[in-house]
């Protein structure tokens, strides 16, 4: 009977072999795929099993971790000054996922990123708990606070950039939400989230990056740049050939100015100071759609920015006729811009024509704050020559010195700016948006350019509202940056 | 003893008893689970668990008493089986205790903490092991009970039909005050005894009195009858008790023993054809079989919007990777209910000890099976050979059916991992199984009695095999 016995032995051996092959398949070959399966709750448990790395502003963490009271997840995220920093951090929630920096740099923050492989391997041997790396932002806490405080209970957004590098210094959006209240895994967190989502004021929208507004008169800066760049006018103090009233091309309608302004043949400087629609409308029409589009796109229009959080693309349309181009050139018709975009416009001018790519993550570090990756400033484009940029600076400084933007003046610094009041809604039925873009300059160049938009302002309908409501906020933000230098 | 150095279990003359080898390995079999126990405590609370001393002493006591009894009553028995069984049982206890520490699956609804009960059942199992060694002086005695065994096995198999099913399978009987028993586990041993006895008598008839048909030797009807009856019975168990595992086990067991007894390959072909036909037939109308097959083919598919137990087990294996998360640091609780302690205990092994640990466990089982098959090879009497191969074959099939089901080689069937999984009947029955195998191996390796001193020794030549 021994021959069949040996065969049975071989059969049993094959059974064991089949098991061994199978477990190798499941645990070795498929392990990676399985451990990333979104239905695998371990992915989530592991994510919250240890303290998440922090998002850091000027050496101080604006996030934290606390132990969850119940459930599978050990730690949950906390936020310091949550509503103020929400447009920067985004949120990470045990129930609702995550977004913005929390989502984009999730690998670093949770510690699963390949760049942290060495740390993970090391902690495997030392027995330390796995830790996440940190994200160090470029933001300036004082500037952010000034922006958030300045907006107060009004709806609006602020974006501030360091023109020399493109580093984002402030990114505020109001009304905001507190990511701490949605970070957990309880029904209360879900309720809070739903409340935020249902709120008609849209507190979870990052207005500084994701909302495009008609930029109103602030766009005249771009039009002025186009006029200089394409050689339509060379001298900012030379008369332009602008009749008053000026009839829109191919139309019977006149383009109106806001009030009785000295716009007839006004110089570019004066036209910007008092915000002449006629002058800049005609510049747009004279240049034509292609040239206007070229300049606008060099400033970053029609393109999403990744800072690394994505911003919506600002809009300057193609294929417009002369009248539409004229209207678009004074920031009406189809033109729409994010606060970030308008801050970029101001920063390019302040930086003598060089537009730096905006970014808000300075560096990624390992758990011990040792550098993993640093963002190096990068030029995005040159929308205008240094000469023309300086001419525009003069014009914008005039606006603040004696024009519509006097409220942005800062003692000891040169400030250039432009106000804007963007009408919108059918027949301008809705309340306008108050805009202000500006930069501040010292002997060492310009450390800050800022764009402020206040929605739904209770202002009167005059152009001054941009100067009245948005300019003081911009001033506070710029002052905060200047003071921290 | 000094003349022949024979290291295999085969080898009739003056085989070394290897009892000291067994003792040394038993020491490992106790120390490893005790370390594992400490490991869980350290991972969970950062301190050595309070029950560690009791656990270590208990396990050493069980192993020590078993060893002494083997030394006394089965001195030539295989030295590996007892340590292997002790190690598996000990690791099983640690794993169950480790899962007991998860509050979400140790609820009153699923019976609370299981480790103390399992420890008690292990003690009962070892006691039964000792009884078998003590009272079963010679395994050939069992031949006398061939037909009684058949009746007992049938009764045991049919009993659960009168008790309510649990999770869709009617494989338990409930004894008030004692708890639930799985008669199938005991029936497995008893039916092996019946097959061994029956086949030993009928093997010549089955092997020789057959007609040639299409190149195969087919048996006569009267020899075929009992086989068809067993086949029908295993299908009936499957249908009425919805117990896939046991029916597969019995049928496979029967085919293996038949093949060994008759040495005819045609039986294997015949058996496989029958079981394939049966499986297809049953699968085509039994919905629970279909759902098992579905689960097997698409283990990660969501059901009712949720992740299934099968998927959770697969995730557990996947997350273990090469080295595992470490004992006490996995999330097999996600499988839910009592499943991680019984059906899916291997998932915990895979997750917390990793591929390395799981392969080690499978190899431990492989080794135990190999020692069983070796015992069958070494046995000198056909009944002992058949019984040994029957028991080790049943053990191998059970390990394959459970481990294969959990890891996804074959569809999942409800059976317990011998020694490792929570379950009183399983532990007791498997200790008895090991005891019988040890008894057979003891007989097989026992040196032939020295020839009686004869005054004519110089005239007669003694020829020894």
CA atoms A389, A395, A401, A407: torsion sign: negative
pLDDT tens by residue, B343-370 = 899 999 999 999 999 999 999 999 999 9
Q: Cβ neighbours of residue A485 under 8 Å, at least 6 residues apart? A: A442, A447
CA distance A418 to A434: 11
Best residue of B319, B358, B440 to probe chain A, by most A CBs closer than 10 Å: B319
Best residue of A3, A7, A15 to probe chain B, by most B CBs closer than 10 Å: A15
CB contact under 8 A, B317 and A27: yes
- Give the pairing type, strands A55-57 and A134-137: parallel
pLDDT of amino acid B267: 77
Q: Cβ neighbours of residue B99 under 8 Å, at least 6 residues apart? A: B105, B106, B114, B332, B333, B340, B341, B345, B348
CA distance A179 to A126: 34
Mean pLDDT calculated for residue range B164-178:
69
Mean pLDDT calculated for residue range A281-287:
88
**Token digits for A76?**
């949950």
Q: What is the mean pLDDT of chain A?
A: 86
In 3D space, the residue among B243, B241, B257, B251 whose CA is nearest the CA of residue B273 turns out to be: B251
Candidate from A69-83, B165-179, B290-304 with smallest mean pLDDT: B165-179
CA atoms B157, B161, B162, B166: torsion sign: positive
Q: What is the mean pLDDT of chain B?
A: 84
CB contact under 8 A, A19 and B409: yes
Catalytic residue among A173, A217, A328, A438: A217
CB contact under 8 A, A15 and B260: no
The answer to pTM > 0.90 is no
In 3D space, the residue among A314, A259, A251, A336 whose CA is nearest the CA of residue A285 turns out to be: A251
pLDDT of amino acid A253: 82
Cβ atoms within 10 Å of B444's Cβ, excluding its own: 27
Q: Please, which pLDDT band fits residue A372 given cuts at 50, 70 and 90?
A: confident
pLDDT tens by residue, A91-125 = 988 888 888 888 888 888 888 888 887 777 777 67
pLDDT tens by residue, A145-155 = 999 998 888 88
pLDDT tens by residue, A388-430 = 999 899 888 888 888 787 888 888 888 888 888 877 665 566 6
pLDDT of amino acid B157: 82
Q: Indicate the residue of B320, B377, B404 with minimum beta-carbon distance to A5.
A: B377
- In chain B, what residues touch A40 (CB-CB under 8 Å)? 307, 315, 318-319
Phi, psi at residue A424, to the nearest 5°? -155, 175
Q: Write the ipTM.
A: 0.90
Query: Which runs of consecutive H residues, i.e. helices, occur in B303-381?
Result: 309-320, 345-352, 354-378
CA distance B433 to B400: 17
Cβ atoms within 10 Å of B347's Cβ, excluding its own: 27
Mean pLDDT calculated for residue range A191-211:
89
Phi, psi at residue B246, to the nearest 5°? -65, -40
pLDDT of amino acid B417: 92
pLDDT tens by residue, B235-283 = 777 677 777 788 888 888 888 998 998 888 877 887 788 778 877 887 7
pLDDT tens by residue, B385-398 = 999 999 999 999 99
- CA A315: distance to chain centroid? 15
> Is the confidence at residue A173, as pLDDT, over 60?
yes
Candidate from A219-223, A464-468, B419-423 with smallest mean pLDDT: A464-468
Q: Is B362 within 8 Å of chain A by CB?
A: yes
Location of structure tokens 């020692």: B371
> Is the confidence at residue A53, as pLDDT, over 90?
no
Task: Looking at the complex, report in whole angstroms how far the Cα of residue B239 sits from the nearest Cα belonging to chain A.
Answer: 26
CB contact under 8 A, A18 and B331: no
CB contact under 8 A, A1 and B385: yes
Q: Is B462 helix (H, G, I), strand (E, B) or coil?
A: coil
Q: Cβ neighbours of residue A436 under 8 Å, at least 6 residues apart? A: A218, A405, A408, A417, A418, A419, A420, A450, A451, A452, A466, A467, A470, A471, A473, A474
What is the largest distance, in Å, between two alpha-carbon atoms of chain A?
A: 117
Buried b (16+ CB within 10 A) or exposed e, B421-430: bbbbbbbbbb
Q: Please, which pLDDT band fits residue B28 given cuts at 50, 70 and 90?
A: very high
Q: Indicate the residue of B263, B315, B322 with minimum beta-carbon distance to A37.
A: B315
**Token digits for A479?**
């002052």
Question: Any idea of the CA torsion for A284, A287, A289, A290, to the nearest 10 degrees?
Answer: -140
pLDDT of amino acid A456: 65
Contact A193, A91 (CB under 8 A): no
Interface A-B, measured as beta-carbon pairs within 8 A, has a size of 133
Location of structure tokens 């390959």: B265
Q: Please, which pLDDT band fits residue A460 given cuts at 50, 70 and 90?
A: low
Candidate from A238-252, B58-72, B233-247 with smallest mean pLDDT: B233-247
Best residue of A18, A38, A40 to probe chain B, by most B CBs closer than 10 Å: A40
In 3D space, the residue among B224, B146, B139 whose CA is nearest the CA of residue B191 turns out to be: B146
Nearest residue in chain B measured CA to CA from A1 = B260
**Token digits for B455?**
């005054």
Residue % of chain B over a pLDDT of 70: 89
- Which residues 389-428 of chain B have a CB within 8 Å of chain A? 389, 392-393, 396-397, 399-400, 403-404, 407-409
- CA B32: distance to chain centroid? 21
Q: Is A376 one of the catalytic residues?
A: no
């Amino acid at each position: 009977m021994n021959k069949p016995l040996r065969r049975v032995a071989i059969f049993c051996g094959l059974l064991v072999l089949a098991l061994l092959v199978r477990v190798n398949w499941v645990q070795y070959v498929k392990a990676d795929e399985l451990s990333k399966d979104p239905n695998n709750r371990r992915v989530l448990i592991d994510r919250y099993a240890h303290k998440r790395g922090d998002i850091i502003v000027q050496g101080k963490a604006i996030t934290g971790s606390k132990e969850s009271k119940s459930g599978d997840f050990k730690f949950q995220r906390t936020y310091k000054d949550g509503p103020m920093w929400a447009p920067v951090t985004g949120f990470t929630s045990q129930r609702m996922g995550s977004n913005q920096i929390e989502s984009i740099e999730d690998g670093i923050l949770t510690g699963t990123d390949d760049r942290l492989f060495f740390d993970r391997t090391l902690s495997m041997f030392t027995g330390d708990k796995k830790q996440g790396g940190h994200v160090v932002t470029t933001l300036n806490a004082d500037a952010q606070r000034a922006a958030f405080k300045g907006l107060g209970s009004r709806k609006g957004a602020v974006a501030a950039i360091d023109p020399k590098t493109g580093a984002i210094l402030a990114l505020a959006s109001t009304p905001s939400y507190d990511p701490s209240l949605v970070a957990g895994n309880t029904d209360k967190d879900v309720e809070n989230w739903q409340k935020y989502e249902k709120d008609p004021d849209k507190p979870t929208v990052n207005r500084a990056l994701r909302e495009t507004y008609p930029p109103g008169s602030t766009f005249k800066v771009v039009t002025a740049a186009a006029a200089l760049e394409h050689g339509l006018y060379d001298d900012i103090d030379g008369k332009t050939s602008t009749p008053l009233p000026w009839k829109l091309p191919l139309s019977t309608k006149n383009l109106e100015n806001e009030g009785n302004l000295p716009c007839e043949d006004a110089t570019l400087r004066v036209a910007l100071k008092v915000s002449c629609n006629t002058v800049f409308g005609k510049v747009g029409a004279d240049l034509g759609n292609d040239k206007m589009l070229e300049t606008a796109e060099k400033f970053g229009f029609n393109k999403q920015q990744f800072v690394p959080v994505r911003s919506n693309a600002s809009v300057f349309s193609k294929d417009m006729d002369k009248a539409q181009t004229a209207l678009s050139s004074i920031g009406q018709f189809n033109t729409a811009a994010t606060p970030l975009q308008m801050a970029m416009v101001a920063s390019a001018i302040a930086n003598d024509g060089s537009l730096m790519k905006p970014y808000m993550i300075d560096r990624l570090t390992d758990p011990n704050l040792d550098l993993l990756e640093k963002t190096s400033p990068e030029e995005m484009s040159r929308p205008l020559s240094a000469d023309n940029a300086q001419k525009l600076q003069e014009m914008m400084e005039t606006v603040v010195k004696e024009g519509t933007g006097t409220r942005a003046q800062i003692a000891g610094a040169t400030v250039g700016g432009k106000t804007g009041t963007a009408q919108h809604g059918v027949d301008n039925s809705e309340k306008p948006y108050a805009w202000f873009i500006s930069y501040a300059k010292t002997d060492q160049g310009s450390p800050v350019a800022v764009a402020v938009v206040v929605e739904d302002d209770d202002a009167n309908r005059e152009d001054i509202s941009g100067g009245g409501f948005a300019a003081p906020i911009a001033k506070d933000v710029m002052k905060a940056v200047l003071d921290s230098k | 003893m000094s003349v022949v150095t024979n290291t295999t279990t085969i080898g009739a003359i003056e085989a070394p008893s290897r009892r000291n080898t067994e003792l040394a390995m038993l020491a490992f079999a106790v120390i490893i689970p005790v370390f594992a126990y400490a490991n869980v405590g350290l991972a969970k609370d950062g301190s050595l668990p309070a029950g560690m001393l009791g656990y270590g002493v208990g396990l050493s006591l069980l192993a020590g008493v078993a060893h002494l009894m083997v030394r006394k009553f089965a001195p030539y028995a295989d030295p590996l089986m007892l340590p292997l069984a002790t190690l598996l049982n000990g690791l099983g206890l640690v794993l169950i205790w480790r899962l007991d520490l998860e509050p979400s699956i140790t609820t009153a609804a699923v019976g609370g903490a299981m480790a103390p009960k399992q420890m008690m059942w292990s003690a009962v199992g070892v006691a039964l092991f000792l009884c078998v060694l003590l009272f079963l002086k010679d395994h050939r005695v069992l031949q006398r009970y061939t037909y009684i065994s058949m009746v007992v096995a049938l009764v045991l198999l049919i009993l659960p039909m009168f008790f309510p099913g649990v999770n869709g399978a009617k494989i338990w009987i409930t004894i008030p005050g004692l708890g639930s028993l799985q008669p199938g586990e005991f029936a497995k041993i008893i039916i092996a005894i019946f097959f061994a006895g029956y086949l030993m008598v009928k093997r010549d008839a089955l092997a020789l009195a057959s007609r040639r048909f299409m190149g195969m030797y087919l048996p006569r009807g009267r020899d075929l009858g009992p086989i068809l009856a067993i086949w029908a019975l295993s299908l009936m168990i499957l249908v009425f008790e919805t117990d896939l595992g046991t029916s597969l086990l019995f049928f496979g067991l029967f085919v293996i023993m038949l093949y060994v007894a008759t040495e005819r390959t045609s039986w294997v072909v015949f058996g496989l054809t029958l079981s394939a036909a049966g499986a297809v037939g049953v699968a085509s109308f039994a919905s629970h079989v279909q759902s098992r097959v579905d689960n097997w083919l698409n283990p990660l598919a969501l059901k009712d919007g949720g992740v299934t137990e099968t998927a959770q087990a697969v995730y557990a294996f996947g997350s273990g990777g090469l080295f595992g998360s470490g004992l006490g640091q996995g999330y097999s609780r996600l499988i839910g209910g009592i499943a991680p302690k019984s059906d899916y205990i291997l998932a915990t092994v895979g997750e917390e000890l990793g591929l390395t640990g799981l392969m080690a466990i499978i190899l431990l089982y492989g080794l135990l099976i190999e020692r069983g098959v070796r015992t069958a090879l070494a046995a000198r009497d056909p009944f002992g050979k058949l019984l040994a191969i029957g028991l080790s074959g049943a053990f191998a099939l059970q390990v394959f059916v459970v481990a294969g089901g959990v890891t996804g080689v074959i569809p999942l069937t409800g059976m317990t991992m011998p020694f490792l999984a929570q379950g009183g009947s399983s532990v007791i029955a498997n200790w008895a199984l090991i005891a019988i195998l040890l008894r057979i191996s003891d007989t097989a390796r026992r040196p032939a009695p020295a020839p009686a001193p004869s005054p004519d020794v110089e005239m007669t030549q003694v020829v020894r095999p």
